Structure 1
Amino acid sequence: MRAKNYLEVKVMGNNIPEVKLGVIAVSRDCFVISLSERRRAAVKDACGKKGIDLFEAKTTVENETDMQKAVEEVTAAGCNALLVFLGNFGPETPETLIAKYFDGPVMYAAAAEETGKDLINGRGDAYCGMLNCSYNLGLRNLKAYIPEYPVGTAEEIADMIADFVPVARVLIGLANLKIITFGPRPQDFFACNAPIKPLYDLGVEIQENSELDLLVAYRAHKDDPRIADVVADMANELGMEGNQYPDLLPRMAQFELTLLDWAEQNRGARKYVAFADKCWPAFPSEFGFEPCYVNSRLASRGIPVACEVDIYGALSEYIGACITGDAVTLLDINNSVPRDIYEEDIKGKYDYTLKDTFMGFHCGNTPFCKLAKGAAVKYQLIQNRLLENGGEPDFTRGTLEGDIAAGQITFFRLHGAADGTLHSYIAQGEVLPVATRSFGGIGIFAIPEMGRFYRHVLIEKNYPHHGAVAFGHVGKALFSIFNYLGVDDIAFNQPKGMLYPTENPFAE
């Protein structure tokens, strides 16, 4: 199936789930049911004041029959994520069976007591009920999202729901995601090892293809009538300063349409897609350009395209896109910051040591909207040396280059290790407003205690050089997601005084 025009393609590029929340209140039959119902209504009202749309199931669950009716009610309303609300102690079996029969992520939270003036009929004991609820979830091997402190007033529970929304968006996305790959890893890129079984364990589908499949599809899009619209959109995005090779845009537009059409024709039973593509060394000479700028454009629309067939990089990017609802990128944890740049532009201005800093780089896949002023389509310097003998660039053009805009970031990765187990790391920091003096899509990153994190997490646990970047501090949501997914190893940049298991306590 081919979209009729480019505007239609852009609409179909909506690749991030929309969360529709429901709430089911539960009540133990020896408590006053109206207490749970009143508290449920208060939660809905508090959510409305915060701009959170919450469907309120009118069936209050006291037994298994109620449970079935309530699940049918929220399902019929189109809910794909759910709060099970303990307005009082709650019935252990029916309330946990909700998580079994509801098709979507489920959060559990409990009502705090409102006033010391009404602790007879107005006492719900949900603080106690959450303990039995969690025990029963464990007995049934059921996954659920439970906030850090899951007991609160209606307003506090509304805040918990706001934290749950990005988590639910990721979980819904992963359950409906297909990662499409083209080509094997480039030679000597064993770090992008991608055991498939953990993807299936997460509920993610995968389709692996040859570079030749992609080349055939690309050639079939020659003279596609939509190319002109894509070229115009690219030129508008880049502006006069950024559009340094206007003759290259039709080639890249043809490729963008190829990927979008491939996604539509191959998503199958899945709603969402991400790509992991081989981008060198054969790609530029055969396609006639570097794919980086096109990759950046898709990433800005919630369709990550990971470089170098990094399947778990694509997975991580997609998670970041679902959390933020914004563009993400994939970068090499690339090079140290020279001491002279640190002394001139960082020391005394920002509270970081030299070892807290590094440069994150890739050839040019970071979306235009995340680059500082002056970004432009350029050529891949390293590939130009290798493939065009350092001469006038032709097919090594197509990177999107510029310094990454300053601001908060989270560097993270969910990774399938060689033994088939899942590992992850999360490190919050920032991109500094300091010129890199270098090439590619690049920025000076600062993460507290990065030096120790680099040695005792990234190196010690055999992580590859690629990390996903979300533009904001989203560690809280990432930790909840990885925990929900059953990832036992969730590493982070530990503060001073909190030693890593492999850290030498006598080192200075």
Structure 2
Amino acid sequence: MKNVPDIKLGIIAVSRDCFPIELSRNRKNKVVEECTKKNIPIINLETIIENESDVLKALKEIKEKGVNALVIYLGNFGPEGPTSLLAQKFDGPVMVSAAAEETGKDLYGGRGDAYCGFLSLSYNLGLRNKQVYIPHYPVGIPSEIADMIKEFMPIARTILALKNLKIFSFGPRPQDFVTMHTPIKPLYDLGISIMENSELDLYDIYKQAENDPRISEVMEDMAKELGTGNTYPELLRKLAQYEVALIDFMEKNLGASQFGIFANKCWPAFEKYFGFVPCYVNSRLASRGIPVACEVDVYGALSEYIIYNVSELPATLLDVNNTVPYDLIEENKDRIRDKGYKPTDLFMGFHCGNTPSCCLINGAIKYQLIMHRLLEPGKEPDITRGTLEGRLRPGETLIFRIHATPDARLISYLAEGEILDIDPKSFGGIGVFAIKEMGRFYRYVLLEKKFPHHTAVGFKHVGKYVYEVLKLLGIKEIYYNLPENQRYPEENPFIS
């Protein structure tokens, strides 16, 4: 993966001084053995935490070994004060788990009572106002703890990535796209940097890259990627120049950050000066883990980046766009009704052409039909060329957005479903989405909570990880699609 942190995960055991310290040490070592068997990379920290002095020793060892994500393991009851202190002072994501009792043959000298100790630790973590990741059922035998650690890794990677992220934006939002507002205080609260620039800055860096020797190499790579979809080969030089310009700008301006993403103005003035639509370049950078959100949608870019870190797959940004006509449903009833979907469970996700080619069927460079109507009416497409269009690949999907309200509160939604193997019979990067109870979710979450029309789209069911990331970020309002028999708070109870 590119543009993401390398996780150096450590595990440390804690032990209450009235319990055998060897019980915690031995149980932790067995967890490490299980991680090795399951190819889960982990650093076995030698320090055992019994008191606050041990916390200082542990922090020194953690620093020396380069650990940036930590598993705290209660091998027995554990000292809740020093344990919560370690979690507070460690500057990285923390998971806490606890040992289950292994056998009924040794419940005198070999009983650890970590099940009980975890309750005390939870209280102390609350006193310190420290958020940690606690697995769904956090107590287990070594093989079960190893599985929990594996589940923690994408969560830890995402938290670390956000702490070291800079978002580059270019230009103000297009007219009537006020829903893409960007209160920046919540970004700072998350530890994310933002660098806001003008469209003129974007044009300037593009012009500076005009004679860059790397342009030819990028053109060759584009042609190879597109294959038969390279319908406008004469356009590739401009697109390659733009790609080189963006990458150079990011590398030169990361500053104290390690990772970067973009939210760029892409119309209507863009085409008149640059001479193309930037969608294909946006798609290529997204495939490398550098989302370039359309229409200066900063929180859309952030949502894409979270999905990328969690799923280890490229994501895209689409409009929750249009309904699926009844005749198209009838033509594909074996793919829809046989799976139990209602018409209101369906919608089409669409955008001009920013989705990575690996997520499309028969992707090809085309022109943006809507912009062509606006900018080149009645003419052959020229400055509106540059979209990557095709049908979204069928399979698992997640729609997700983290967003800031006008009063700068962070809210979010997520819902899992699938992209159906149906021809949408339309233009752009587009697909037919099926999400259970989408109609009610659309009405009582997207509309009721004032979310914008852009949604980040992932191509894997990773909702459980995204949800935990949101909790660790301290986001309180997290919405998801409810089943048919469970009503939303604002839903009319008299509608059947």
Query: Which residue among 483, 490, 493 is the counterpart of 1:502?
Result: 490
Match of 2:3 in 1: 15
Residue among 367, 385, 393 paired with 1:379:
367
Residue of structure 2 in register with 1:325 after alignment: 312
- Would you say the 8 A contact 1:16–1:325 is kept in 2? no
Q: What displacement does 1:284 show?
A: 1.1
Tell me if structure 2 keeps the 8 A contact 1:377–1:401.
yes
Q: CA deviation at 1:348?
A: 3.3
Partner Cα separation in structure 1 for residue 56 and residue 405 of structure 2: 40
1:102 CA drift (Å): 1.2
Partner of 2:422: 434
Q: Is the 8 A contact 1:17 1:322 kept in 2?
A: no
Answer yes or no: is the 8 Å Cα contact 1:151–1:157 preserved in 2. Answer: yes
Q: Distance in 1 between matches of 2:409 and 2:478?
A: 12
| Partners of 1:55 and 1:74 within 8 A in 2 | no
In the alignment, does 2:264 pair up with 1:277? yes
Whole-angstrom CA distance in 1 between matches of 2:64 and 2:327: 63
Residue deviations 1:355-379, cap 9 Å, x none?
000000000000000001x210100
Match of 2:47, SS? coil
| 2:303 maps to which of 279, 301, 316 | 316
Instruction: List per-residue Cα deviations over 1:371-405 (Å, max 9, x = no partner).
Output: 01x21010000111110114211110000000000
- Deviation (angstroms), 1:223: 1.5
Distance 2:43 2:337 in 1: 52
Matching residue of 1:305: 292
1:363 aligns with 2:363: no
Identify the residue that residue 266 of structure 1 maps to in structure 2.
253
1:291 matches 2:266? no
> Structure 1 residue 420 and structure 2 residue 411: aligned?
no
- Percent identity, aligned pairs only? 59
2:455 corresponds, among 463, 467, 475, to: 467
Q: How many angstroms does 1:470 deviate by? A: 1.1
In structure 1, the residue matched to 2:189 is 201
Matched, 1:243 2:230: yes
Report which stretch shifted further, 340-349 or 387-396.
340-349
Residue equivalent to 1:349:
338
Normalised to the residue count of structure 1, the TM-score between the two structures is 0.96
Which of 471, 476, 481 matches 1:493?
481
Structure 2 runs not aligned, ≥5 long: none
Question: Match of 1:309, as an amino acid?
Answer: V
Tell me which residue corresponds to 1:149: 137
* Aligned equivalents of 2:138, 2:441: Cα separation in 1: 31
Superposition deviation, residue 103 in structure 1 = 1.4
Amino acid at match of 1:357: L
Aligned residues of 1:280 and 1:308 also touching (Cα < 8 A)? yes
Are residues 1:219 and 2:191 paired?
Answer: no
Q: Which amino acid in the other structure matches residue 69 of structure 2?
A: A
Match of 1:369, as an amino acid? C
The number of equivalent residue pairs is: 494
Amino acid across the alignment from 2:222: M
Q: Give the partner amino acid of 2:294.
A: C
After superposing on structure 2, the runs of 4+ consecutive aligned residues of structure 1 that deviate more than 2 Å are 346-350
RMSD: 0.9
Tell me the TM-score normalized by structure 2.
0.99
Counterpart-to-counterpart distance in 2, 1:76 and 1:292: 44
Among candidates 18, 35, 54, match of residue 30 of structure 1: 18
Contact 1:317 1:469 in 2 (8 A): yes
Residues 306-326 of structure 1 deviation map (CA, whole Å, 9 limit, x = unaligned): 000001001101101100121
Tell me if the contact between 1:289 and 1:398 (Cα under 8 Å) persists in the aligned partners.
Answer: yes
| Pair 1:94-2:76 in alignment | no
